[in-house]
Amino acid sequence: MELFLDSADIEEIRDLAKTGLVDGITTNPSLVAKSGGDFKTLLKEIAAVIKGPISAETVAPKAEGMIEEAKKLLPIAENIVIKVPLTWEGLKATRALSREGVKVNVTLCFSAAQALAAAKAGAFYVSPFIGRLDDVGASGSELLQEIRAIYDNYPDSIETRILAASIRSADHIAEAALAGADCATAPPKILRQIVHHPLTDKGLAAFLADWKKTGQSIL
């Protein structure tokens, strides 16, 4: 499963890219607003660091506007993916853009039926928001399983990739992988958590204490 970083913080992106864990980037208007930077400049900076897909979200309410915004965003870098909402207008834009060979990430997916509609419109990615579903008492992992089952029923006609979003914890990342998601996007704080475990820390401390007792040095 590919791991994307859900962030518009260029310093965090640069730092985490050094780990080799970051396969791509997802952004949204809220993240851009939080960064305080110019959107197009941020995308250029991110593209200089990340060679994988970078989702850039449109904000126009109508399909025509989304398509026009996509034309402005695509020249920024060759790995830009256009992000649109899972609405009728978003699906219209997805259909038009995908027919021109543009990769589209259809976001704000909360049901398997929506995911099917996105696939039929030609989405390259569909982004189910599993954390927000868990927040309201539903099951995000069950949604991922349902979408995976539907897509797998039609391997000859559906090529849309499942991008698990709204990740709240390291466990969510594992759940997404178990459910068969192709990718998961997580904020920097959560991505940093995936390597931490108290038993790892305890074990390392014990190893180092025992090594110190030997009085040896590897150097």
Rounded CA-CA distance 44/195 in Å is 29
Distant-in-sequence, close-in-space partners of 129: CB < 8 Å, separation ≥ 6 = 107, 108, 109, 110, 140, 165, 166
**HSE-CB of 188 using CA atoms within 13 angstroms:** 15
Map tokens 């090594």 to a residue: 211
Amino acid at the residue 73: L
Cβ distance 151 to 185 under 8 Å? no
The CA distances from residue 26 to 7, 92, 106, 212, in Å, are 6, 21, 12, 44
| Total Cβ atoms within 10 A of residue 89 | 16
Structure tokens at 185: 């996007």
Q: Determine whether 71 is an active site residue.
A: no
> Which residue of the set 62, 83, 103, 212 is catalytic?
83
The whole-angstrom separation of Cα 219 and Cα 201 is: 24
Q: How many other C-beta atoms can be found within 10 angstroms of the C-beta atom of residue 184?
A: 28
The catalytic residue positions are 83
